[in-house]
Chains A and B, each alone.
Chain A
Amino acid sequence: MKDPRDFERPIQEIEAQIENLALFGEDKSRDKEMAALRKKLEKLRREVFAKLTPWQTVQLARHPKRPYSLDYIQAMFTDWQELRGDRRFADDPAIVAGFARFRGRPVCVVGHQKGRDTKQKIYRNFGMPKPEGYRKALRIMKMAEKFRMPIFTFIDTPGAYPGMDAEERGQAEAIAVNLEAMARLRTPILITVTGEGGSGGALALGIGDRINMLQFSIYSVISPEGCAAILWKDAAQAETAASALKLTAQDLLRLGLIDRVIEEPLGGAHVDPAAVFQALEGVLAEELGELSGLEPEDLFERRYQKFRAMGAYLDAEQGEAAKAKGPAPKPA
């Protein structure tokens, strides 16, 4: 199988050339060459990103340089205090949770956390939480409700950890309980999918009042590789599966499952993280403003109606296609 990140290679080559030139310092002729290269880079980026395939979007969502939850927390919040442990079994470093200030206001922040280098990746279990991670998240989110703080969650996980220990301690129960409990929390919950929205392991931090996705993040019921292995009996068909699964932010917006797509710089969030932090902070501040005016019971009811409307099916009693969001369903 060819390297799925091949599409980035020509861009990286020009970037390397620019870096090399820059090492030689200032010089008129070099400046000219540099400017030409920069122009070429822009053009190439625009071309590549104009026709980005779903599979390429998956690669960007998983990009090793992509900002992770703690990066967002550092950039958009102040006075961050991480709290640890589920008070039952252990602390799970694949999820970070705690309190901070957002534009001065005390808030709760919860997010999946991946590691940057090998050691960190292992420590964070590649961002795949175990039951104790979900239970920690819930413990801290309940505290947020108690002290009347809004909750921000950041979603970026390949999925909940599929291991023996996780199963033994009730992975399914931990996720299920979070889904229900988040539906009940009487405090605003703002969700941002920043990277990989991997199935139930992502959704377990994903029930709330506003759901945003970064432009090159994904949200899916199964990984393209897993889907290909099951439905095509061939993991190499992941590219085909990625298209079929309709997992991009644009797809989810079209299906009526999310509220907003946050644009990323050409090349992805890692090219200019500061721009992404700024854009996202603006959106979240606006949305928090909207939600803060609502009575807790209103919030509860609206959140229910939001999820209640998700799905596409036919219902004879209401006339065909009555209930489908997004693309009109074809008659069966």
Chain B
Amino acid sequence: MWFRQKKKPEVPSGEERAVRVPEGLWTKCESCGQIMFSQTVAENGQVCPKCNYHFRISARERLEALFDEGAYEEFDSEVAPADPLEFKDSKRYADRIIQYQRQTGLKDAVINARGTMGGVPVIISAMEYAFMGGSMGSVVGEKITRAAEEALRRRAPLVVISCSGGARMQESVLSLMQMGKVAAALARLHEGRVPYISVMTDPTTGGVTASFAMLGDVNLAEPKALIGFAGPRVIEQTIRQTLPEGFQRSEFLLEKGMIDMVVHRSQMRATLVSLVQKFTGKTG
């Protein structure tokens, strides 16, 4: 009947909407609205050629872009989440895990990889936002800890690429303690004088920022990434006013002295290669 309205299309929730997988021929920039050939954007490292907006990319894409010849060996890929608290909100955590594992092909929100950068053996842990917003539960904590231990064993520089909304609520205090666990592993790495470089991408917030992301010998960030402890909405609720433009973005943190460099994605590999070569005394 004419007055019977069609059901509204379901609006995707924040988690699902946030991850963009450019598939079609054309891509619209989420920042400036420019419509471009997807190919052009891909060739530019998934960065908008017009406004430099950095599209969110997967952990695998990052590893391929950073290691020499894009080659790496994954390790600890079998570590998987366990739902120790049998957590259930609108959905069971156990079901969410299975859903995200299907969607991403990963066991959890981080990939550990060994490879070389500019000839220097390097360990990289890259976080995957598409897996529950990159949230840190026991698996993420354990894997980054193992990456730090592996780096110390091999005396190979460690690079962690953060992309995470913070701790995983479904693992409650177990996830909180991962902050302490990873920080303790980094303490040993630092005492062992093995370089650790933290790369922050959009977004890096909460318990991830307040642990390993801020503990780099060198802290790098991609342009305009949201980086902070409390999320912007929480702060706005606290102070009851709107945050100024650019607050908690990479450039703001650079100005406040919290990070060393803001690095365009196209320059990330070169920047990291140059740093690890200097720190390990290799010729560049």
List residues of A (306-332) whose CB comes within 8 Å of B's CBs. 307-308, 310-317, 321, 323-324, 326-327, 329-330, 332
Instruction: List, in ascending order, chain B residues with CB within 8 A of A310's CB.
Output: 141, 174, 177-178, 180-181
Main secondary structure on chain B at its contact with chain A? helix
| Selected interface stretch from B41-49, B81-89, B123-131, B264-272 | B81-89
CA distance A204 to B239 in the complex (A): 23
List residues of B (16-69) whose CB comes within 8 Å of A's CBs. none
Residues of A in contact with B, size category: 35 or more
| Pick from B81, B177, B190, B229: contact of A313, CB under 8 Å | B81
A175-B173 in contact (CB<8A):
no
A197 smallest CB distance to B (angstroms): 8
Say yes or no for A48: interface residue by CB 8 A criterion.
no
Say yes or no for A207: interface residue by CB 8 A criterion.
yes
0/1 string, A18-44, CB within 8 A of B gives 1 = 000000000000000000000000000
Instruction: List, in ascending order, chain A residues with CB within 8 A of B215's CB.
Output: 176-177, 180
B160 smallest CB distance to A (angstroms): 12
| Pick from A166, A177, A206, A227: contact of B229, CB under 8 Å | A166
A170-B138 in contact (CB<8A):
no
CA distance A317 to B76 in the complex (A): 9
B141-A314 in contact (CB<8A):
no
Instruction: List, in ascending order, chain B residues with CB within 8 A of A327's CB.
Output: 84
B229-A167 in contact (CB<8A):
yes
B256-A220 in contact (CB<8A):
no
Say yes or no for B164: interface residue by CB 8 A criterion.
no
| Pick from B88, B172, B183: contact of A220, CB under 8 Å | B172
A38 smallest CB distance to B (angstroms): 38
Instruction: List, in ascending order, chain B residues with CB within 8 A of A227's CB.
Output: 169
Instruction: List, in ascending order, chain B residues with CB within 8 A of A244's CB.
Output: 85, 87-89, 172
Say yes or no for B121: interface residue by CB 8 A criterion.
no
CB closest residue in chain B, given A231? B89
CA distance A177 to B167 in the complex (A): 17
A138 smallest CB distance to B (angstroms): 13
A316-B172 in contact (CB<8A):
no
CB closest residue in chain A, given B80? A314
Say yes or no for A184: interface residue by CB 8 A criterion.
yes
Residues of B in contact with A, size category: 35 or more
Instruction: List, in ascending order, chain A residues with CB within 8 A of B239's CB.
Output: 163-164
CB closest residue in chain A, given B77? A316
Instruction: List, in ascending order, chain A residues with CB within 8 A of B187's CB.
Output: 180-181, 183-184, 304
CA distance A241 to B185 in the complex (A): 31
Q: Assuming the A-B contacts A162-B229, A329-B82, are A246 and B173 also in contact, with contact meaning beta carbons closer than 8 angstroms in the complex?
A: yes
Say yes or no for B234: interface residue by CB 8 A criterion.
yes
B84-A184 in contact (CB<8A):
no
A171-B141 in contact (CB<8A):
no
Say yes or no for A108: interface residue by CB 8 A criterion.
no
| Pick from A207, A226, A241, A317: contact of B183, CB under 8 Å | A207
Instruction: List, in ascending order, chain B residues with CB within 8 A of A184's CB.
Output: 187, 191
| Pick from A168, A200, A315: contact of B78, CB under 8 Å | A315
Say yes or no for A1: interface residue by CB 8 A criterion.
no
Say yes or no for B184: interface residue by CB 8 A criterion.
yes
List residues of A (149-178) whose CB comes within 8 Å of B's CBs. 160-164, 166-173, 175-177
Instruction: List, in ascending order, chain A residues with CB within 8 A of B137's CB.
Output: 313
A177-B79 in contact (CB<8A):
no
B235-A312 in contact (CB<8A):
no
Say yes or no for A219: interface residue by CB 8 A criterion.
yes
Q: Assuming the A-B contacts A180-B215, A314-B81, are A221 and B175 also in contact, with contact meaning beta carbons closer than 8 angstroms in the complex?
A: yes
A175 smallest CB distance to B (angstroms): 4
List residues of B (160-211) whose CB comes within 8 Å of A's CBs. 167-169, 171-181, 183-188, 190-191, 206-207, 209-211
CA distance A170 to B190 in the complex (A): 21
| Selected interface stretch from B4-12, B90-98, B276-284 | B90-98
B141-A311 in contact (CB<8A):
yes
Say yes or no for A222: interface residue by CB 8 A criterion.
yes
Say yes or no for A232: interface residue by CB 8 A criterion.
yes
CA distance A323 to B82 in the complex (A): 10
Q: 29 pairs across A/B with beta carbons < 8 Å?
A: A162-B238, A170-B258, A172-B209, A172-B227, A176-B179, A176-B210, A179-B184, A184-B187, A203-B179, A207-B184, A221-B175, A222-B169, A227-B169, A241-B89, A244-B87, A245-B173, A246-B173, A255-B84, A308-B185, A310-B178, A311-B138, A311-B139, A311-B174, A311-B181, A314-B80, A314-B81, A315-B78, A321-B82, A329-B82
